[in-house]
């Protein structure tokens, strides 16, 4: 039930990019703006790039920008790219769970939990976050 540092850092960097949607930002700018360990952020940006969420420009005057409009990137998508499924029990997805005897209704609870989490994470986009501030 914890959001990892990786996901938190990724979202902070992405929102920063969304708010700065005109030009590019360097990894170092993002790191200092959000107080994220620079080398760690670099590795996160690499994952976001290979996931197609961020585009990069190399060399001097280089940097990062969102690969798609901020309104089309949800928090849920970011989490899925970095960590897989939104909600799992012992690493297995709720719909794949099997319980014996009286524990059977537990499955429905995890399904409902996931649905509620999705309600929040799927609906909110980077644009929502960037304009709210």
Partner DNA sequence: CCAATACCTAGTAAATCGGTAGGATATCCA
Partner DNA sequence: TGGATATCCTACCGATTTACTAGGTATTGG
Binding site for DNA (CB under 7 A): 4-6, 25-28, 37-40, 42-43, 45-46, 49, 56-64, 83, 90-91
Q: 43 is in the binding site of which of DNA, a copy of itself, none (Cβ under 5 to 8 A by kind)?
A: DNA
Q: 22 is in the binding site of which of DNA, a copy of itself, none (Cβ under 5 to 8 A by kind)?
A: none
Residue (of 5, 35, 23, 33) closest to 66 by Cα position: 23
Give least dist CB 54 to a copy of itself, A.
Answer: 16
d(C-alpha 122, C-alpha 46), whole Å: 23
Residues that bind a copy of itself (CB under 8 A): 1-5, 8, 11-12, 15-16, 18-20, 33-35, 75, 79, 83, 85-91, 99-106, 108-110, 112-113, 116-117, 119-121, 124, 128-130, 132-133
Q: Which two tokens stand for residue 83?
A: 């960590």
DSSP 3-state of 63: strand
């Amino acid at each position: 039930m914890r959001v990892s540092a990786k996901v938190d850092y990724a979202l902070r960097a992405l929102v920063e990019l969304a708010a700065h949607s005109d030009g590019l930002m360097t990894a170092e700018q993002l790191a200092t703006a959000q107080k994220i360990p620079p080398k760690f952020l670099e590795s996160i940006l690499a994952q976001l790039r290979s996931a197609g969420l961020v585009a990069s420009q190399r060399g001097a005057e280089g940097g990062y920008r969102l690969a798609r409009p901020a309104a089309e990137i949800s928090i849920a998508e970011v989490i899925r790219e970095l960590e897989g499924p939104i909600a799992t029990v012992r690493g297995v997805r709720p719909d794949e769970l099997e319980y014996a005897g009286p524990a059977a209704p537990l499955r429905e609870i995890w399904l409902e939990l996931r649905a509620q989490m999705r309600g929040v994470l799927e609906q909110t986009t980077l644009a929502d976050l960037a304009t709210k501030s």
